[in-house]
Amino acid sequence: MGQGCVESVPIPRTTGTVHLIGAGSGDPELLTLKAWRVMQRADVVLYDSLVSEDVLDMCVNTAEKVFVGKRRANHALPQENINELLVMHALAGKTVVRLKGGDPFIFGRGGEELQEVVRHGIYFESIPGITAASAAASRAGIPLTHRDCAQSVKFVTACKKQGAPNDDYSEMLDASQTVVFYMGLHRLPEMTKGLMAAGRDSNTPFAIISHASMPTQQVLIGTLKDIADKQATAHLPTPALLIMGDVVSLYDVFTEYNIGALCQTVEVSCV
């Protein structure tokens, strides 16, 4: 075998396979071509609540579609049951598509599900999707990094396992770093107070982006000290992403000319 060549390895097909697919942020045109091709030959599709109807409609019509979605404090199925369904269908010889919003390996429990799949000797394929942080920031015109104001970006979940709050704010104080919070809208007042108490500048620009990349996308701009009050008035709905850092200030620079934003800027007057 010549240098640089990859020898193909035949996959035993005594069982089916599991294909873990990132459905992206909801806009079907942001789905990868590879994801679409696999969705066209699925026997079973297990899909989450963040998978849009337009994306789900791109699956082959003959596939059995099973909703296994989870939202905060509202799970259609416990995670253990989802794992069992993946294994059961694959062991029955089916091509199983596990369709998850965003990217399955970024706060999507994709790794947990594949651990169970591999434990049963089932072969899998993982196909990435556009995670909410990239989709929301890009469509809104907020670069997550910029040489003048952010040399790094941190993705943070607002809640740890079993709903425990992620309140270690000492790792989120670097002014040259953009911080993106997943699943944090319901903890916004607590988080902003905690960040300021830990030492983050209260004037740090802050954005909430709801329904990223969809026609219903909305953007709320404020600062660390006033964004919670603005949200209390605006009531942007979930799913929503929170972005903190100086890059948010570029939103006003780009928004007038951002023809791909598909967003509505929410104006809020706080008394």
Residues annotated as catalytic (active site), given as ranges = 48, 70
172 to 18, 150, 201, 208: CA distances (angstroms): 36, 13, 11, 17
Phi, psi of 47 (to 5 degrees): -125, 155
Spatial neighbors of 53 by CB under 8 A, at least 6 apart, are none
Cis amide linkage into residue 128, ω under 30° from 0:
no
- Rounded CA separation 33/44 (Å): 19
Secondary structure of 126-177 as H, E, C letters: EECCCCHHHHHHHHHCCCCCECCCECEEEEEECECHHHCECCCHHHHCCCCE
Question: Nearest 5 degrees, angle CA 230-CA 131-CA 196?
Answer: 35
Q: Which residues of 89-105 are buried (b: 16+ CB within 10 A; e: fewer)?
A: bbeeebbbbbbbbbbbb
